[in-house]
């Protein structure tokens, strides 16, 4: 074994706690227990990992654990993202202040070691690494205020680590460590694939538009034992029809009508119906008591009436006949920031959840649980949901920000990056959805065809958004091949040059090496899209 492994399945060398103003709270240590400020923090070592817990008190916002050791031989680090990635996942060198949410990998030139938490913790957690050791930072706030535990013990989570083998590939090490962090993933029985209209229609959709594109995809999908999904994205409800995207009422607008009849129409086309919903936006008649103190345009999921509201709307979608529910925006709606804005703190200070005894992580996990229970046997895709909290609840996870039907550069950045760097989570955490292949007039086919091939052969979930008027014989042939591949389990695609390239060109797909040209003749677009 390489000598750079730092075993953190031991009591930390340092524990520090901080109040709402980031002032340090004095602590006294007795073995694996630290006390001070009216609370008790424990770090109990076991073979499966070190269990962290805190009880009592209402003054702690953050906890730091520090393991000292010689980390100078590490050459590259890889860290995960809070929720989706944003084209920014990468292997990097030492950055002592860089937050690495949930887990990280450390490569010393011979072996790749893993450090992280078991999935479904009760707090938002990130790591720092530097030449002298490792720090774990734990955010136990409720909104932007210290959680009020009211005497209960909060089981924060379990710290785990894995010593990599010499000459084990970093990709294999990543897969093995993801399995260690998530021993009980919730997985779909068959590969998930099909069509989603968003980057073709961008909400300007209708039952007829959906049906036309769905029929084409159904006709091009030869596997009769695993039929494709047709997911109706934003645009079907009354909110968009009235100029309020992302809002209800969650009934079909005049372009769709009865959403149960729409589901039946899709099923008659030999596909499985799916539907999109944003659970934490209020209706016009929603009482103020259900709204979030940070921003009243969203609902507070620690309110019992909100959870019942969410449950009823998810169940309605299932009762209409939808076999897949894509729920969206809950991280942003609760915390007010996208993942790329969060950094070392996932929300601003100075506001609180209605239930101050619940952490932000617990609030989201409980929301996912309610959605899961209401969905019954329907599959769930989490979009803008927290990766490390979703594994027991979602069969599929959107692991990157949106690809595009108008900007190839955005698709290249977001899609290829998340597929490469979150592929180790595929079927170890959930089914990875790297987002949609959009076949539109704005995206050059010679570039898009490569993206279609990569997703189809990678083993991850394939969704396509297709303008039927653009599909000729060559596009039909490529789509049919891709849909057939995506309908069957494939070995996970392996990015060969992911340690040198945030948008890997070289891949190992189905036992052969394939090189892609993602840039095209015009080069990349360095401005916003």
Give the angle 118-154-342 at the CA atoms, nearest 5°.
60
Torsion angle defined by CA atoms of residues 443, 203, 340 and 373, in that order, rounded to the nearest 10 degrees? -130
Residue from 428, 361, 383 nearest 176 by CA: 428
Examine residue 318 and say whether the peptide bond preceding it is cis (omega within 30 degrees of 0).
no
State how far the Cα of 140 lies from the Cα of 47, in Å rounded to an integer: 25
At 9 the pLDDT is: 96
State how far the Cα of 340 lies from the Cα of 133, in Å rounded to an integer: 25
Strands 24-25 and 112-117: unpaired
At 353 the pLDDT is: 98
* Phi and psi at residue 190, to the nearest 5°: -130, 160
Reduced to 3 DSSP states, what percent helix, strand and coil does the chain have, rounded to the nearest 5? 25, 25, 45
List of the chain residues with pLDDT < 70: 1-2
At 22 the pLDDT is: 87
At 1 the pLDDT is: 40
492 CB neighbour count, 10 Å cutoff: 19
3-class state of residue 430 by DSSP: strand
DSSP secondary structure letters along 331-398: HHHHHSS-HHHHTT-SS-SS---SSTTS-HHHHHHHHHHHHHHHHTTSEEEEES--HHHHTTT-SEEE
List the structure tokens of 4. 């750079």
Which residues of 20-99 form beta strands (DSSP E)?
Answer: 24-25, 28-30, 33-36, 39-46, 49-55, 62-68, 76-79, 91-92
3-class state of residue 512 by DSSP: strand
List the structure tokens of 180. 């260690």
3-class state of residue 249 by DSSP: coil
Look at phi and psi of residue 325 and say left if phi exceeds 0, alpha if psi is from -120 to 50, else beta. Answer: beta
469: which DSSP letter?
A: G
424: which DSSP letter?
A: G
Secondary element (H or E) of residue 137: strand 133-139
At 13 the pLDDT is: 97
State how far the Cα of 446 lies from the Cα of 459, in Å rounded to an integer: 22
CB 114 within 8 A of CB 129: no
Residue from 21, 23, 18 nearest 41 by CA: 18
The position carrying tokens 């992580």 is 361
State how far the Cα of 204 lies from the Cα of 235, in Å rounded to an integer: 6
Locate all alpha helices (DSSP H) within 86-150, ordered by sequence: none
């Amino acid at each position: 074994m390489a000598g750079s492994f730092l075993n953190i399945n031991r009591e930390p060398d340092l524990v520090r706690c901080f109040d709402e103003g980031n002032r340090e709270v004095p602590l006294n240590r007795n073995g694996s227990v630290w006390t001070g400020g009216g609370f008790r923090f424990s770090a109990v070592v076991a073979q499966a990992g070190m269990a962290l817990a805190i009880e009592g008190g209402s003054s702690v916002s953050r906890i730091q654990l520090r393991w000292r050791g010689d980390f100078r031989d590490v050459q590259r680090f890889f860290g995960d993202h809070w929720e989706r990635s944003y084209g920014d996942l990468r292997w990097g060198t030492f950055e002592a202040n860089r937050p690495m949410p949930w887990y990280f990998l450390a490569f010393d030139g011979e072996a790749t070691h893993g450090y992280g938490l078991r999935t479904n913790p009760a707090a938002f957690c990130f790591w720092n690494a530097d030449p002298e050791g490792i720090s774990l930072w734990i955010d136990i706030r409720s909104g932007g205020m210290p959680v009020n535990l009211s005497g209960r013990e909060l089981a924060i989570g379990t710290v785990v680590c894995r010593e990599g083998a010499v000459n084990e590939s970093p990709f294999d090490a990543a897969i093995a460590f993801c399995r260690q962090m998530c021993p009980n993933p919730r997985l779909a029985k068959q590969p998930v694939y099909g069509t989603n209209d968003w980057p073709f229609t961008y909400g300007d959709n209708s039952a007829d538009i959906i049906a036309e594109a769905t029929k084409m995809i159904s006709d091009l999908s030869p596997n009769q034992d695993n039929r494709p999904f047709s997911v109706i994205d934003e645009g079907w409800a009354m909110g968009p029809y009235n100029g309020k995207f992302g809002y209800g009422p969650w009934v079909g607008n005049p372009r769709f009508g009865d959403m149960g009849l729409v589901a039946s129409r899709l099923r008659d086309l030999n596909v499985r119906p799916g539907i999109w919903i944003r659970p934490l936006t209020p209706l016009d008649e929603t009482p103020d008591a259900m709204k979030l103190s940070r921003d009243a345009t969203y609902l507070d999921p620690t309110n019992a009436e909100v959870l019942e509201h969410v449950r009823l709307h998810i169940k309605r979608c299932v009762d209409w006949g939808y076999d897949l529910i894509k729920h969206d925006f809950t991280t942003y709606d609760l915390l007010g920031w996208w993942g790329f804005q969060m950094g070392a703190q996932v929300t601003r200070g100075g506001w609180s959840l209605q239930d101050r005894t619940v952490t932000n992580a617990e609030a989201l996990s409980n929301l996912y649980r309610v959605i899961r229970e209401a969905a019954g046997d329907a599959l769930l895709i989490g979009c803008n949901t927290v990766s490390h909290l979703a594994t027991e609840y979602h069969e599929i996870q959107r692991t990157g920000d949106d690809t595009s039907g108008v900007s190839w550069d955005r698709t290249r950045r977001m899609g290829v990056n998340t597929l490469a760097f979150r592929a180790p989570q595929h079927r170890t955490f959930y089914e990875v959805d790297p987002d949609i292949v959009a076949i539109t007039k704005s995206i050059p086919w010679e570039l898009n065809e490569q993206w279609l091939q990569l997703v189809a052969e990678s083993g991850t979930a394939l969704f396509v958004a297709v303008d039927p008027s653009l599909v000729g014989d060559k596009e039909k042939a490529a789509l049919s091949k891709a849909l057939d591949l995506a309908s069957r389990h494939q070995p996970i695609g392996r990015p060969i040059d992911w340690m040198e390239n945030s948008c890997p060109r070289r891949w190992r797909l189905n036992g052969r090496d394939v090189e892609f040209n993602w840039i095209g003749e015009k080069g990349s677009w360095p401005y916003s899209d």
